Amino acid sequence: MTVEEAKRKLIAKKEKKPPKPEELSIDPATAKMIRRSQELEVETIFDRAQAMKPCNIGVQGTCCKNCAQGPCRLPLPKSGIEGKDTRKGLCGATAETIAARNFARMVAAGAAAHSDHGRGVAETFLAAARKETKDYQIKDTNKLLEIAPDFGVEITVEGKDGGLLDRDMDEIAVEVGEKALAQWGQQQGEVCTSKRAPAPRYELWKKLGVVPRGIDREIVEIMHRTHIGVDQDYENLVEQCTRAAIADGWGGSMIATDLQDILFGCPYPLKSAANLGVLKEDHVNIVIHGHEPLLSEMIVQAAELPEMVALAKEKGAKGIQLSGICCTANEILMRHGVPLCGNFLQQELAIVTGAVDAMVVDVQCIMENIANVADCFHTKIITTNPRAKIASGNTMHIEFDEHSAFEDAKRIVRTAIENFPKREKEVMIPDNASDLIAGFSYEAINYHLGGTFRGSYTPLNDNIINGRIRGIGGVVGCNNARTTHDEGHITIIKELIKHDVIVLTTGCNAITCGKAGLLTPESAKVYCGPGLAEVCEAVGIPPVLHMGSCVDNSRILMAATEVVKAGGLGNDISELPAAGSAPEWMSEKAISIGHYFVTSGVYTVFGVTLPVSGSPVFESYLYKELESIYGGMWDMVADPIEHAHKMIAHIDKKRKALGIDKARERVLMDMADRRELEAA
């Protein structure tokens, strides 16, 4: 480049106008609040994403900083690699070793986050079962009895006459709690819930030696293997990733979901609303943000106390409005209908409304900068978990303990109420909130498809076999400030349902769908292909089923297992006409989730980027070779339409392998015929 060209480029860069808020998010509420934050000169992630670009080598996954001789940076040359790839770090680590080690550490962190959440739930469950806390009780005894055998816990005892009697429920709960908690520290054997997978899947894992021994053990072993000079074979590293990821999806996360259901109730469909417009100017607004329902459940109860409502009125408010951000939002939505305030990228913007009297946070996906944004308003940021404090800004810490949970929750709610009269800036709440239906646990899907007396996945399978439903898409995951907020999620899902693919959703994707009106049965008529629209109308369900938080991706695994069990679509998850997607992923948890879906047999496509592109060898292993081992593989497609069509192509490939591709052609002809008839 000449000096003149370089100058011109620099000037062009300087003159480049910052994007308009509408170019940063397709969600109108978010765009309005980005504009508002800029007017008030309150910096948010949307500004920082413009000011700072990501490291090019980190994005490729080939920067190694696992020892103090580096970081060793191995960028992929623009022209690609010709011949043998001779790039090496100081110790000789190849690009594939480095990329695999970085990938493995993401799996470890993600699995640790979910599983540590699960451990906390198991501890509280056990405390409730042992009656050591009065604030939590065993609520869903049916689910307790259903899962007890998976932990080897008997639910009957032999009576004096040799007949079987029901065992005492408290005894069952204590034993389930003890056995569940033991899955974390177990050193040998198998994480028992892995056996819930369809038999051929479990047998495959056994043959490959990847059934996890204990949840903590597999995560620790990743950290050991990725230390300098240990595991320097990318295939061997991926094998350990598989153990840890299965320990997450079929272990820590699955146990968390089950025990939460037993403590707080298994979700069933209910109505609510989503987006920043659920905040109320004349109410005390408490936004609960994070992940663990142990906290949010107590806050829901505390906020309903007449004494709290009276205190709110005394302070000049009309009442107390609870809402949620991130996965906590999904938890309290699914069980109580508490509205969704927003997803990951909206957490700072909720505070910018000036209407949030307290944002109560626990763990995961909480941006440190909410504290700085809150300092520009009256909002109190209340941290509650000893594992997650915030040093920036003026946060306060009210530690939440399962033994004094309700008292802690009351203190938090009181603090928020007392903050209501201190609002100083003009309140601006965007008037955007959409209706939704959420709460589709796999048990609820069973009920909705088959009815009370014959609940079953058979009608779903029948509709897949006859072609009205082309297949199943699991579309989940985060927002990512490196791509237009919510655009990938919505474009992909609309494309899938337009092509008759029913969608199961969790996490921030579920919140996006709620905001966009895709979680209502009425949306089927507007957005679905004729086959899926017909089924949704007949059954009265939305084309996109909200199944919960990210930990609840285990519900999707169980739904897939139920579909296999219902018959007619093969013997394993890998045979199903199904595909997974995380269009706007960003967290390490997403990598762990992606890997347990892949190794459970699911073709899984990520959007935005995947930090493996710096090593073509490792990339090809994930994107191609894993399919021959697990029947599922990774992929990365940034363009949302292409992304959706790769999922559809995979679904069609599976339909063909099952011999049901012809049925779909017939159905489509029937529909076309019908339309022609109608037109005539």
Q: Report the residue number, 299 or 326, with the smaller CB distance to ligand BF8.
A: 326
Cβ 64 to ligand BF8, closest distance in Å?
25
Q: Distance (Å, rounded) from C-alpha 637 to C-alpha 218?
A: 30
Q: Distance (Å, rounded) from C-alpha 52 to C-alpha 46?
A: 10
Q: Report the residue number, 116 or 135, with the smaller CB distance to ligand BF8.
A: 116
Burial class (CB in 10 A: 0-12, 13-18, 19+), 135: buried
Cβ 630 to ligand BF8, closest distance in Å?
23
Cβ 370 to ligand BF8, closest distance in Å?
14
Cβ 327 to ligand BF8, closest distance in Å?
3
- H or E segment at 396? strand 396-397
Tokens of 368: 């440190």
Cβ 330 to ligand BF8, closest distance in Å?
8
Cβ 383 to ligand BF8, closest distance in Å?
17
Q: Are 328 and 296 in contact (CB under 8 A)?
A: yes
Q: Report the residue number, 117 or 494, with the smaller CB distance to ligand BF8.
A: 117
**Could you count the other beta carbons within 10 Å of the beta carbon of residue 296?**
27
Q: What b/e readout covers 202-226, taking b as 16+ CB neighbours within 10 angstroms?
A: bebbeeeebbbbbbbbbbebbeebb
Cβ 519 to ligand BF8, closest distance in Å?
16
Q: Report the residue number, 317 or 510, with the smaller CB distance to ligand BF8.
A: 510
Q: Report the residue number, 365 or 559, with the smaller CB distance to ligand BF8.
A: 365
Cβ 290 to ligand BF8, closest distance in Å?
8
Cβ 489 to ligand BF8, closest distance in Å?
10
Partnered with residue 156 across adjacent β-strands are 166
Cβ 41 to ligand BF8, closest distance in Å?
26
**Helix, strand, coil in percent for the chain, rounding step 5:** 55, 10, 35
Q: Which residues bind ligand BF8 (CB under 6 A)?
A: 291, 326-327, 344, 364-365, 477-478, 507-508, 549-550, 587, 589-590
Q: Distance (Å, rounded) from C-alpha 623 to C-alpha 635?
A: 5
Cβ 293 to ligand BF8, closest distance in Å?
12
Tokens 């190849």: give the residue: 94
Q: Report the residue number, 364 or 446, with the smaller CB distance to ligand BF8.
A: 364
Cβ 12 to ligand BF8, closest distance in Å?
34
Q: Report the residue number, 259 or 478, with the smaller CB distance to ligand BF8.
A: 478
Q: Report the residue number, 457 or 585, with the smaller CB distance to ligand BF8.
A: 585
Burial class (CB in 10 A: 0-12, 13-18, 19+), 167: middle
The C-alpha angle 53, 478, 625, rounded to 5 degrees, equals: 85
Q: Report the residue number, 507 or 577, with the smaller CB distance to ligand BF8.
A: 507
Q: Report the residue number, 256 or 460, with the smaller CB distance to ligand BF8.
A: 256
Q: Distance (Å, rounded) from C-alpha 564 to C-alpha 502?
A: 16
The C-alpha angle 615, 619, 620, rounded to 5 degrees, equals: 120
Q: Report the residue number, 65 or 482, with the smaller CB distance to ligand BF8.
A: 482
What is the arrangement of strands in the sheet containing 434-438, beginning at the earlier edge strand? Answer: 396-397, 380-383, 356-361, 284-289, 320-325, 340-342, 270-274, 434-438
Q: Report the residue number, 458 or 484, with the smaller CB distance to ligand BF8.
A: 484
Q: Distance (Å, rounded) from C-alpha 428 to C-alpha 412?
A: 24
Tokens 């069973």: give the residue: 446
- H or E segment at 652? helix 640-658
Cβ 147 to ligand BF8, closest distance in Å?
23
Q: Report the residue number, 507 or 570, with the smaller CB distance to ligand BF8.
A: 507
Q: Distance (Å, rounded) from C-alpha 100 to C-alpha 189?
A: 26
Q: Report the residue number, 351 or 464, with the smaller CB distance to ligand BF8.
A: 351
Region of 259 on the Ramachandran plot (φ > 0 left; ψ -120 to 50 alpha; else beta): alpha
* Amino acid at the residue 72: C
Cβ 510 to ligand BF8, closest distance in Å?
9
Query: Taken in order 450, 456, 459, 463, is the CA torsion positive or negative?
Result: positive
* Amino acid at the residue 498: K
Q: Distance (Å, rounded) from C-alpha 299 to C-alpha 15?
A: 49
Partnered with residue 289 across adjacent β-strands are 325, 361
β-pairing, 270-274 vs 434-438, is: antiparallel
Q: How far apart are the first and last CA of the chain?
A: 65
381 by DSSP, 3-state: which? Answer: strand
